[in-house]
Amino acid sequence: MMCRKRIRKIAEYTVAARIGRGRYGVCFLAHDLRGRKVVLKRFRRRMWRKNRANNHHEAVVLSGLCHPGVPELLGVVNEHRGYYFVLEYMEGKTLEDWLFDKKKIFSADEIYRIGTQLYDILEYLHSHSVVHGDISIANVVDDGGQVSLIDFGLARYAGGDPEDFRLDHARTANVLIYLLYSGYSGKGDRPWYEELPLTGEQRKFLLGLMKPEETEGGEKEAGRGTADIKSEFQKYFGDVHRGIRGEGQP
């Protein structure tokens, strides 16, 4: 018997593959009528109902953003088979896939580029009062030249307190630590700040973001803006400090 692959259509979109899933639903890669790649984000019925008071935040936040590193909200599909957000497809793989599927070792140059682009996106978001709230290696996509930030399901508008942005700062620092560990071959039995071959300034920079209350001067600096943090990152991870990473680092 000949088996034909069924072409699945959701509204005017042709589904090509399932590209991700999580607690909240499933993401499909699809093509629109012009052949453009899009992501269809389908919500699980149970989770949609459970969080019905918050489901709209992602649509509202994305409606107000326009940045090459942020997916555009292209539409909403509400049909009997499910409820979907249609989002711009961001080219590349997640940092999680680069690290753990491709076993990629990120060079100092790449970490600098990714960090800088990530802070560019954050600066834009924070200038629009948006806190992403879920920055992680699974939610940062890189195509080798451009970084994108995805999954705005937990994004919210800040309440006016500069401290609100600290969550994104801490989680971004955590992403950088993942990248710094990509070429590290040690045991991994000590805290990252003891183990990674960082300069004093790099260590202080990351510690200041991860635990400002315990870092000298951290509390005072906790309220500094994202632009300041980006400048510091570029200063401490830029040209002067490249090549300082230890054995086994590219």
Partner 1 sequence: MSGFFSHSSSRRRYPDPNMRGAHYKKRGLFGMFSGLGSGFSSRSSRGYYGQGYPNQGYPNQGYPNPGAFQPTAPSAGGEAVCPKCGTSVPAGSKFWLSCGEKMESNAVFCQNCGRPLPAGAKFCSECGTPVQR
Consecutive H or E run containing 221:
helix 218-221
**Annotated active-site positions, please?**
134
**Three-class SS of residue 11?**
coil
Complex with partner 1: residue 9 or 49, whichever CB lies closer: 49
Contact 212, 219 (CB under 8 A): yes
d(CA 40, CA 56): 16
How many residues in the shown chain lie near partner 1 by CB under 8 A? 93
d(CA 73, CA 117): 21
| Contact flags string 65-104 toward partner 1, x per CB under 8 A | ------x-x-xxxxxxxxx---x--x--xx-xx-xx----
Complex with partner 1: residue 185 or 228, whichever CB lies closer: 185
117, 139, 202, 249: which one binds partner 1 (CB under 8 A)? 139
Interaction between residue 37 and partner 1 (CB under 8 A): no
Report the nearest approach of partner 1 to the CB of residue 35 (Å): 19
d(CA 54, CA 48): 9
Interaction between residue 237 and partner 1 (CB under 8 A): no
Which residues within the stretch 158-197 sit at the binding site for partner 1 (CB under 8 A)?
A: 158-161, 163-164, 167, 170-171, 173-174, 177-178, 181, 184, 186-192, 195-196
16, 105, 138, 222: which one binds partner 1 (CB under 8 A)? 138
Report the nearest approach of partner 1 to the CB of residue 104 (Å): 13
d(CA 120, CA 143): 16
Contact 56, 38 (CB under 8 A): no
- State the CB neighbour count (10 A cutoff) for residue 218: 16
